[in-house]
């Protein structure tokens, strides 16, 4: 069961919004030796619940799902696949740029639909929202110019209409 190829799995986890839920999830991941690639959490549509988007780097996702499901505060888990869901990430990146480089940078940003949100004497800060891979591509494009600061939101994801694989049935 171990040793399968590691891939990223995106889980949308509906949990009760109780104090410490995030600690329970991260403690379980640490204890079971699962790798979190990214985790984002916010209020769910129904009051009293939260939605976590957990991206897990794992060979087999089944145990991860079952262990998550076993946490008393977990209500429902959905595995999202890239086709059946919308995945997004927000990134803020400050790139060093004096006046001579600025035009070049802004052009590149235009192609990626990144927005310049702060322009200073020696740097430009971009806001980029897109699929995680697009965001990464933009980051790689900026890297040679000199990255000063990067911050990412972590992945958030939502199933497309009726294209989800609901894992509750197995857990």
Scanning the chain, the segments in alpha helix (DSSP H) are: 21-32, 62-70, 99-112, 132-142
Q: How far is the CB of 95 from other proteins (least distance, A)?
A: 39
**Structure-block tokens of residue 92:** 């803020």
Cα atoms in the 13 Å half-sphere on the side-chain side of 118 = 10
Length of the chain: 171
Ordered DSSP codes for 8-53: EEEEEEEEE--TTHHHHHHHHHHHHTPEEEEEEEEE-SSTTEEEEE
- 124, 117, 125: which is closest to 100 by C-alpha? 124
Q: How far is the CB of 126 from other proteins (least distance, A)?
A: 38
Q: Which of 57, 73, 129, 164 is the binder for other proteins (CB under 8 A)?
A: 73
Q: How far is the CB of 40 from other proteins (least distance, A)?
A: 20
Q: Which is nearer to other proteins, 131 or 171 (CB)?
A: 171
Taking CB under 8 A as the criterion, which residues in 77-116 touch other proteins?
A: none
* Region binding other proteins by CB under 8 A among candidate stretches 70-78, 79-87, 103-111, 113-121: 70-78
Q: Which is nearer to other proteins, 63 or 164 (CB)?
A: 63
- On whether the CB atoms of residues 28 and 20 are closer than 8 A, the answer is no
Q: Which of 17, 24, 96, 125 is the binder for other proteins (CB under 8 A)?
A: 24
17 touching other proteins, by CB under 8 A: no
Q: Which is nearer to other proteins, 36 or 147 (CB)?
A: 36
- On whether the CB atoms of residues 95 and 77 are closer than 8 A, the answer is no
Query: Which residues lie near other proteins (CB under 8 A)?
Result: 1, 15-16, 19-20, 23-24, 27-28, 31, 62-63, 66-67, 69-76, 170-171
């Amino acid at each position: 069961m171990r040793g399968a190829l590691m891939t990223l799995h995106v889980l949308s986890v509906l949990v009760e919004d109780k104090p410490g839920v995030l600690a329970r999830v991260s403690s379980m991941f640490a204890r079971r030796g699962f790798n979190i690639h990214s985790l984002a959490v916010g209020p769910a549509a129904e009051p009293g619940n939260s939605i976590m988007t957990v991206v897990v780097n794992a060979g087999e996702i089944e145990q991860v799902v079952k262990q998550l499901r076993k946490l008393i505060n977990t209500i429902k888990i959905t595995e999202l696949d890239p086709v059946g869901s919308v995945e997004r990430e927000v990134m803020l990146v400050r790139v060093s740029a004096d006046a001579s480089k600025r035009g070049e940078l802004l052009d590149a940003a235009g192609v990626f639909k990144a927005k310049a949100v702060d322009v200073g004497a020696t740097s430009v800060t971009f806001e980029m929202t897109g699929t995680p891979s697009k965001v990464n591509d933009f980051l790689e494009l900026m890297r040679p110019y000199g990255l000063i600061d990067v911050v990412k939101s972590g992945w958030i994801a939502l199933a497309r209409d009726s294209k989800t694989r609901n894992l509750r049935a197995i857990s």
